[in-house]
Amino acid sequence: MSQSASSNVNGRKNSSAAVECIPSATNAAAAAAYKEHQTLCINRNSVGDGSNASSAPNVGAMREWWRTRSLNAPSPFQQFGPCGRIMKNQAMVMQIQDPASQRLTWYKPPLTVLVIKKVRDSTVLAPFVQLVEWLVQEKHMVVWVESAVLDDPLLIEDKKFKNIKEKLVTFKDGRDDLTDRIDFIVCLGGDGTLLYASLLFQQSVPPVMAFHLGSLGFLTPFEFENFQEQVTNVLEGHAALTLRSRLRCVIYRKNDRRKESESDSTNQITKNAYNYQADGSDGTNKSGSRGSTNILVLNEVVIDRGPSPYLSNIDLFLDGKYITSVQGDGLIVSTPTGSTAYAVAAGASMIHPSVPAIMVTPICPHSLSFRPIVVPAGVELKISISPDSRNTSWVSFDGRNRQELLHGDCLRVTTSIYPVPSICAQDQISDWFDSLAECLHWNVRKKQKCLDELSDLTASGSEDTLDDLDRVNDTLLDSGLQ
């Protein structure tokens, strides 16, 4: 690591980015409707029969409040009728907001940027050198890159890169901790670069700007041609954000009985009120027990039968309640972001990344009625090998860290409190539907031709022409049968 560059960033906190919530026009209407609703309740209690017509809520305001531009519903009234209401829960940790109001803001200028490039791809080298040179010389930023990137023979021979190589800060995956050192991430490549960025940051993730230089590019909405203008806009805080939720996956081994019993006794506390150390950044749980895994995934965690010829037999629990046994090739537990990855190939629905949910999709189930399901994001799933299963299972996290799940082991999965803030090229809605159309060719087919003779008949204005056409068709059909 370059000492001169590292001295500027060591000890800095990753606190320069935040999500700015811009209130929409519907919030004022909602507040007005709620105020009138409270007035109605007060008048109803004071008068007794609530027949005072002047205290009725504004119907127009109520209708306006019900309307929303968001994929998520607006916050409902907490009171239902004159007596019913939701019980207050101080341990509630999830709050749904309008995705259209999520925009990036910097409350201090970003100084450090991590550039992640696609490996073993010569077409990315020129854009990588161009971007790094511009960030160092024009924007005067401290640029971090993985040390393995500098070992590329083609990059070593590049004359332009030699001039800026000494100004870069390097790190090694698995050895150096990037927590609180990076303000901004730029990915050059395909969707795998964004997954790698998620893997590097197992707690708070800096804003990620992904350029499409790979194969599919479903998660990489930016084109590289005018990168200077686009990066400048982001650095100035002019960007929308999509908060892509991640799954916290913890494996508890059979021999770790103490940890398992502690987890069962504190399950509700852990689920409803995570502390800072809940999502471990070192890939192991905090007890330090050997063989355990604590990791965050952006797409999915997959449990499959591995090399065994037998069916997987997996028990599925939801918040401690037994749900079903999965008999088939395996099970996919995915985020909404991962719904367009492995899950969609297994028959699951595609869910917008702003929807708070967890998807459970069987892989080739030995049952015609086993359909994929969607559960709330706040629940905890427990997955274990059935006691009468003929074989063990294997588990992988975003296609990495593949390991065996033995009898008596269990995997617990729930939504993490650390999402990946993905910067949008346009906005949350347009980016997603553009990716569906361009990458997956969603609902692409040749349009059905219109019936010219039917169009002529309907355009003529005759009321009997359609009946006449039916009679002609019936006559032709009868003659054909004879």
Catalytic site residues? 191
Tokens of 44: 């109803």
Burial 63-94 (b: 16+ CB within 10 A, else e): ebbeeeebbeebeeeeeeeeeeeeeeeeeeee
Tokens of 222: 């930016």
430 close to 257: Cβ distance less than 8 angstroms: no
Amino acid type, 400 = R
Long-range contacts of 135-140 (CB under 8 A, 24+ apart): 135/231, 136/164, 136/167, 136/168, 137/164, 138/228, 139/231, 139/235
Helix (H) or strand (E) holding 385: strand 380-385
Tokens of 203: 């707690």
Q: How far is CA 51 from CA 44, 55, 58, 77, 138, in A?
A: 8, 8, 15, 22, 70
- 7 DSSP assignment: T
Nearest to 187 by CA among 224, 215, 153: 224
Nearest to 358 by CA among 344, 341, 379, 340: 379
Rounded to whole angstroms, how far apart are CA atoms 412 and 262?
14
Rounded to whole angstroms, how far apart are CA atoms 42 and 109?
49
